[in-house]
Amino acid sequence: MKNLSLSTKVLLGVLLGTLTGLFFGEDVAWMGIIGDIFIGLLQMTVLPYIMFSLIVNIGRLSLDTGKKIIRYGLIFLFLLLSLGLVYLIILPFSFPSWSSGNFYSSEFVQPSVPFDFVKLYIPANPFESMSDNVVPAVVLFSIFIGLGVMKLPNKEALLQPLDVLTDGLNQVNKMIIKITPLGVFSIAAGVVSTLSWSDLSRLQGYLLVYLLAVILFTFLILPSLISIFTPYSAKTIFKITRSTLITIFATGKIIVVYPQLIENIKEIIRADENSNEENQDRVDIIMPLAYPFPNLGTFMIFIFVPFAAWFTGKSMELSDYPVFLSSTFLSSFVAPITGLPFSLDLLKIPKETFQLFVVSTVLTDRIRVVLGAFHLIALTLLTIAASGGFLQFKKRKIARSLIVIGISTLLSVIGLRYVLETSMKNIPTNLEIVNSFKLISPQQEFVLLDRSKRNPNPKWRGENTLSRIKRRKKLRVGYYEDARPFTFFNRDSVLVGYGIDLAHQLASDLEVKLEFVPINPGKLIEGMNKDHYDIVMSDIFLSSRYAEDIELSKPYLNVSLALLTKQDNKIFNSFETASKLDTFTISYIERKDIANEFLSYFPEGGAYPVPDIKSYFELDKIKEKVKDTVQLDSIRVDSIKIDAHLTSAERAASMTVINPEYKVVNPLPYHINNALVFPVAKDNVWKGYIDKWIDFREKDGTFDKIYDQWILGNPHQEKAKKWSILDNVIMPRFSKKDTISNDFVK
């Protein structure tokens, strides 16, 4: 082992850690703590190193040299990011045709959090910026201190001690680097032991396209640029930086080995026979200056935006790309975890897809920083070559490189599209996922009545509803036949949904059977008053009319109103565009008061009642039903054109799963919320029982568990130990041998 190079030891650490995680699974998850300690040790010297290094090197810099470095640095940064923009346009062609609606996201009702660019870049309190590890603000603070020191006559009295301190920090970093193989071993074991392959399978399109971007830039495009414009060869660069790049991959952070990366670049410069000390010193200035700016690793991570649009069935149009590319440039100044929601929101892409990105960071964070580090290497070498006066332009090499890059990109995109087209056939759509959902609650014996009718067992004199339910051993539950995701029939004609799941839980608690009674549209109040149902467990909005005519339980869920409209309908994307319309029409079911409240913001809008959600999708049938009516709600029937359907965001999202060509939007300047309630038989004892049942089942997590599956689309699964070679391959074989041995003895 002593004869092995550091890069070989680091690579072995990654491989052995990966195998350890696969073999032992969750049993070695604790090793991630050792990895965190290693990262912390690496990170503790980095920010002081950057700060003191900038102050020292800028302080000794001449004004002309400083201007030259900044000018060329910005030119090459713009060149590299421009290449990134080109590939953000090209790479989405790798995505084949795919159609899938999207589930409701709770983020729909949460306001967007704006970026705090001032805190990120302006060090109003430099000590707070240092404490919070806000690198851009610390860099800016160091630049100003360096510029101030630059003009002092006796500046060496300060710079020499800082020089010694910087060297000391660098020595500490080199000491910690020696334990890198152990550190990356622990990190790899901890990450792999907790990795969920089932979650990552749905992300394969994004992961493969992003991996392609990293490979093209790291191993082809950036090395070609360096070899065309500078005297440094790609072979020398990879030979010197490979151990650092492997460490960056393992830790998922560039900054933890920043001093080592600076030393690597200096070594690359020294490898050239025409190198000098001045060029090496410039590395200490360029690298810290370049770090706060966007790099290609972060830039290309935004390929997730077109992936999210494709995955949810909202493919991006050519007109969307100017907004996408400009928002990417703006968002790339902050961490992807902060910038991506901004871009998704700007392009009206469902925000629940962001949860997929969070899952993907287990892998993408590691390859992202490798490309980011190579971006910094390329930017530094190009800037040094230009500012040092030895920038080259090899015409023959540039022609050859363009041909190789062009052909490689074309073949990669075509090949990846074919691979994804084949593999995505095995990935279930959201509709298939919904149809696979099972009831979470204990399933009770039940019957489905073919029509709504009075309870065949009237109450005895003085008997309450709860007592009758106990006597009959049956609970009558009213439901709407097509009220996704609350009550509906799935592909196998099984009655399921949020409300049905709760109904089974209620019947289980009462120890009774179930009778599901269909509700005729517009007949809910009549059915309740005629004793057709003991309780209605569908999405019933709280309203003053219902409160007057029937008994209602306490609210059990808050929902947000939204519009369901076609994907290509952009007029409802914002309040500004919707309010400028001369006229438009929305449909609604029963609740005219809510429709009027919505339209109070749009005086030119109109509302049209429909009997059910299917009618919104079948406008011809609507016209036929009312063909003898000349006018309805000030809308001529022969000219009806319904632009959107008003409902809850939860139900609208569920309908997009069946109809991916539709989307959920909210054009209001804020969200109108309403509460869902259970209509119950008029009986104080029964109402009191239901209210207490809601309290109990909310506190024990039943409502949240059922909501998570039927509304958010997360299949309920009992927590199981993650797959490992030891538990899932070796131990079952030993158990099988023991069984055979016991049978033999018998």
Q: Which of 393, 426, 458 is the last residue of a domain?
A: 393
When pLDDT is averaged across residues 281-302 and rounded to a whole number, the result is 84
636: left (phi over 0), alpha (psi -120 to 50) or beta: beta
Has residue 418 been placed in a domain?
no
pLDDT (tens digit per residue) in 148-157: 888 788 888 8
Which pLDDT score, from 0 to 100, does residue 687 have? Answer: 94
Would you say residue 635 has pLDDT above 70? no
Q: Which of 652, 675, 698 is the last residue of a domain?
A: 675
Unique residue bearing structure tokens 């370049």: 290
Would you say residue 115 has pLDDT above 60? no
Cα end-to-end distance, the chain, whole Å: 52
Would you say residue 212 has pLDDT above 90? yes
When pLDDT is averaged across residues 440-462 and rounded to a whole number, the result is 93
Name the DSSP letter for residue 636: E
Q: Phi, psi at residue 604, to the nearest 5°?
A: -85, -5
Percent of the chain with pLDDT over 70: 85
Alpha-carbon span 16 to 37, nearest angstrom: 19
Which pLDDT score, from 0 to 100, does residue 719 have? Answer: 57
**Of 66-70, 595-599, 678-682, which has the strongest mean pLDDT?**
678-682
465 and 526 co-located in one domain: yes
Give the bridge partners for 675, in sequence order: 558
Alpha-carbon span 30 to 12, nearest angstrom: 20
Which pLDDT score, from 0 to 100, does residue 3 have? Answer: 67
252 and 378 co-located in one domain: yes
Has residue 250 been placed in a domain?
yes
* Contact by Cβ (8 Å): 256, 452: no
Q: Which of 335, 369, 393 is the last residue of a domain?
A: 393
Q: Which domain holds residue 487?
A: 438-556+678-710
Alpha-carbon span 335 to 525, nearest angstrom: 53
573 and 499 co-located in one domain: no
Alpha-carbon span 673 to 394, nearest angstrom: 64
612's tokens: 């059910």
Would you say residue 113 has pLDDT above 50? no
349 and 452 co-located in one domain: no
Question: Which pLDDT band holds residue 404 (cuts at 50, 70, 90)?
Answer: very high
Which pLDDT score, from 0 to 100, does residue 163 have? Answer: 82
Would you say residue 616 has pLDDT above 80? yes
Better pLDDT: 695 or 28: 695
Has residue 520 been placed in a domain?
yes
Alpha-carbon span 290 to 89, nearest angstrom: 25
Alpha-carbon span 654 to 484, nearest angstrom: 6
CA torsion angle for 12, 15, 18, 20 (degrees, to 10)?
-60
Would you say residue 337 has pLDDT above 90? no
Give the bridge partners for 496, in sequence order: 488
Which pLDDT score, from 0 to 100, does residue 513 have? Answer: 96
Which residue in 306, 296, 308 sits closest to 368, CA to CA? Answer: 296
Question: Which pLDDT band holds residue 623 (cuts at 50, 70, 90)?
Answer: very low
Which pLDDT score, from 0 to 100, does residue 105 have? Answer: 62
Contacts of 62 (CB under 8 A, 6+ apart): none
Which pLDDT score, from 0 to 100, does residue 478 have? Answer: 95
The SS3 call for residue 704 is helix
Unique residue bearing structure tokens 């907790």: 194
Give the CATH number, domain containing residue 144. Answer: 1.10.3860.10
535 and 590 co-located in one domain: no
Alpha-carbon span 331 to 354, nearest angstrom: 15
When pLDDT is averaged across residues 651-676 and rounded to a whole number, the result is 83
Query: What string of DSSP letters covers 352-417?
Result: THHHHHHHHHHHHHHHHHHHHHHHHHHHHHHHHHHHTT-----HHHHHHHHHHHHHHHHHHHHHHH
Alpha-carbon span 331 to 328, nearest angstrom: 5
Has residue 600 been placed in a domain?
yes
Which pLDDT score, from 0 to 100, does residue 465 have? Answer: 94
When pLDDT is averaged across residues 160-179 and rounded to a whole number, the result is 84
Give the CATH number, domain containing residue 480. Answer: 3.40.190.10
Least confident of 163-172, 626-635, 720-729: 626-635
Contacts of 94 (CB under 8 A, 6+ apart): 205, 208, 209, 212, 412, 413, 416, 417, 420
When pLDDT is averaged across residues 701-712 and rounded to a whole number, the result is 91
Alpha-carbon span 261 to 374, nearest angstrom: 10
375 and 446 co-located in one domain: no
506 and 593 co-located in one domain: no
* Contact by Cβ (8 Å): 587, 610: yes
Has residue 111 been placed in a domain?
no
Which pLDDT score, from 0 to 100, does residue 265 have? Answer: 92
Better pLDDT: 195 or 270: 270
Angle among Cα 624, 626, 628 to the nearest 5 degrees reads 100
Alpha-carbon span 217 to 375, nearest angstrom: 9
Unique residue bearing structure tokens 């590939």: 87
Which pLDDT score, from 0 to 100, does residue 628 have? Answer: 42
666 and 697 co-located in one domain: no
Alpha-carbon span 176 to 49, nearest angstrom: 15
Name the DSSP letter for residue 217: I
Would you say residue 514 has pLDDT above 90? yes
Which residue in 34, 725, 665, 710 sits closest to 351, CA to CA? Answer: 665
Which pLDDT score, from 0 to 100, does residue 129 have? Answer: 78
pLDDT (tens digit per residue) in 523-538: 899 999 999 999 999 8
Which pLDDT score, from 0 to 100, does residue 250 have? Answer: 81
Which pLDDT score, from 0 to 100, does residue 621 have? Answer: 44
Question: Which pLDDT band holds residue 364 (cuts at 50, 70, 90)?
Answer: confident
Give the bridge partners for 482, in sequence order: 488
**Of 509-513, 576-580, 608-612, which has the strongest mean pLDDT?**
509-513
pTM metric for this prediction = 0.66
Question: Which pLDDT band holds residue 198 (cuts at 50, 70, 90)?
Answer: low
Which pLDDT score, from 0 to 100, does residue 90 have? Answer: 94
Would you say residue 96 has pLDDT above 90? no
Which pLDDT score, from 0 to 100, does residue 338 have? Answer: 61
Has residue 324 been placed in a domain?
yes
When pLDDT is averaged across residues 379-408 and rounded to a whole number, the result is 89
Which pLDDT score, from 0 to 100, does residue 76 have? Answer: 92
697's tokens: 């089942």
Contacts of 36 (CB under 8 A, 6+ apart): none
Has residue 717 been placed in a domain?
no
Alpha-carbon span 604 to 584, nearest angstrom: 7
541 and 656 co-located in one domain: no
Has residue 727 been placed in a domain?
no
Mean pLDDT for all residues in the chain:
82
Strand 635-636 to strand 535-536: parallel, antiparallel, or no bridges (unpaired)?
unpaired
Question: Which pLDDT band holds residue 693 (cuts at 50, 70, 90)?
Answer: very high
Residues in the chain: 746
Would you say residue 111 has pLDDT above 50? no
Task: Specify the number of domains making up the chain.
Answer: 3
652 and 696 co-located in one domain: no
**Of 234-248, 329-343, 349-363, which has the strongest mean pLDDT?**
234-248
316 and 183 co-located in one domain: yes
CA torsion angle for 566, 569, 570, 575 (degrees, to 10)?
-80
* Contact by Cβ (8 Å): 376, 290: yes
156 and 297 co-located in one domain: yes
